[in-house]
A and B are shown apart, each in its own frame.
Chain A
Amino acid sequence: MNQTTSIYNRRMKMADLVASDMSLLSILHRLDIALGFGEATVAEVCAQHNISADLFLMICNIYSFRDYSPQIETLTDDDIRSITTYLRASHRFYSTICFPTLHNNIHKMVKELDDVSRRLIDKFYDDYDNEVTSHFQYEEEVVFPYIEDLLSKGQNGNSEYRISLFEHNHGNVNEKLNDLSNIIIKYLNKDYASQLRFEILGEIHYISNDLMKHSNIENKLLVPLVEKIEKRYE
């Protein structure tokens, strides 16, 4: 998928865009774009919310089309700031809504299991949770401040950090979620918590899919853009 074949454009109605792929709703949520946009176009809604329509459409394309690769040349420094704002909001969404709900349900599910399985799955999930949390923390405490410094001070400062050091470890994060989902599908005794298990699997599916898009936004937009700025000051 490239830009010329993309079905999304700035003149289409925002409502039509969302209706064509409901997973785009989570983008609106993270950008604080309230619903109820009537017949307003993508360009109009983006202007009201101070976000570039080009960037918004790129994020939507990354969400909807796996092989899409954005043309980053048109993006500005302000767009980079919008991307980090978006990513922070995305972290908040995972850590205040998705993960607590999943954790809660897993905790309910394991209550019905035998002692050994309960401890195992609880520990597996807790380790996973810690791993993701510390990954988010690393981005918010190291990566994003580095980018903000780079943009505002116009230099790399004294920091030895470079965006190329940024670890793309969301892949591993999804590996564990995927394992957990297979354990629940294949290996937990079929007598336990069957209704809840369906719910949990739906949640895992949603989160791992969304995490993948999240990391695509980092890999396809953020990292190449920051590399461009780094070159400017070398």
Chain B
Amino acid sequence: MNKEGKYKVILIEPSEIIATGIAAIINGNPKFCVAQTLNEPSYYNSNDTDVDIVIINPTVVDYNDRLDIRSWLGVGNTALVALTHSNYEESVLRQYDECIGIYDNAARIVQKLKNAIDENNKNPKNDLNELSSREKDILAAVAMGKTNKEIADEFNISIYTVISHRRNISQKLGINSIPGLTVYAIMNKLVDISDFS
């Protein structure tokens, strides 16, 4: 929440027309304010902890990352809302607290933002401290000594995404060096010690 007691919203949407429109609708409501509009997710700062809702267009994220959007963005327990121009698989949308369509009217959009806050409070999606299954896979690959490039190729994601996963993993574990991550991965049986000669 910001100083005036409004819910703070970050909007990630590449289309300026749509971003401006949605922001105008949200700012028109006394309970919400759009603190920032970003046209791509790499500008999103996950350390900004007083953000209440992140609204993101799922197309701005590579296909493989959409399935683990929370840890990819590093949103932790912030409410997450999809802004969709078209249809998505259920497995993609399931990770969001709500889903706004571009044909929703103003009242419906505001209602959905309220739902998202409620939904998120009731049911925090992803414990900030636990590694997601995607992160565990990536960590295992790091422990095996694979480079970022090799990991990107293996998981079919961009190097930027690998780096972002690695940053989140180190933040959660408090372990930064590769040997340290390897110790963690073996002790937690993410990789087998017999894989190392």
Residues on A lying within 8 angstroms of B by beta carbon are 116-117, 119-121, 124, 127-128, 172, 175-176, 178-180, 182-183, 186-187
**B180 near A183 (CB under 8 angstroms)?**
yes
Interface centre among A116, A117, A179, A180 (most CB of B within 10 A): A179
- Given the complex, which residues of B lie within 8 Å of A124, measured CB to CB? 179-180, 183
Residues on B lying within 8 angstroms of A by beta carbon are 173-177, 179-180, 182-184, 186-188, 193
- Tell me the smallest distance from the CB of A133 to a CB of chain B, in Å: 16
- Majority-rule SS of A interface residues: helix
Q: Which of A120, A128, A182 contacts B174 (CB 8 A)?
A: A182
**A186 near B180 (CB under 8 angstroms)?**
no
**B180 near A187 (CB under 8 angstroms)?**
no
Q: A179's closest neighbor in chain B, by CB?
A: B180
- Tell me the smallest distance from the CB of B180 to a CB of chain A, in Å: 3
Q: B194's closest neighbor in chain A, by CB?
A: A116
- Given the complex, which residues of A lie within 8 Å of B188, measured CB to CB? 187
**B184 near A187 (CB under 8 angstroms)?**
yes
Q: B175's closest neighbor in chain A, by CB?
A: A179
**A176 near B187 (CB under 8 angstroms)?**
no
- Tell me the smallest distance from the CB of A120 to a CB of chain B, in Å: 5
**B173 near A176 (CB under 8 angstroms)?**
no
Q: How far is the CA of A120 from the CA of B186 in the complex (A)?
A: 8
**B175 near A183 (CB under 8 angstroms)?**
yes
Q: Which of A116, A121, A179, A183 contacts B193 (CB 8 A)?
A: A116
- Given the complex, which residues of B lie within 8 Å of A179, measured CB to CB? 174-177, 179-180, 183
Q: How far is the CA of A75 from the CA of B77 in the complex (A)?
A: 54
- Given the complex, which residues of A lie within 8 Å of B186, measured CB to CB? 116, 120
- Tell me the smallest distance from the CB of B12 to a CB of chain A, in Å: 32
**B183 near A175 (CB under 8 angstroms)?**
no
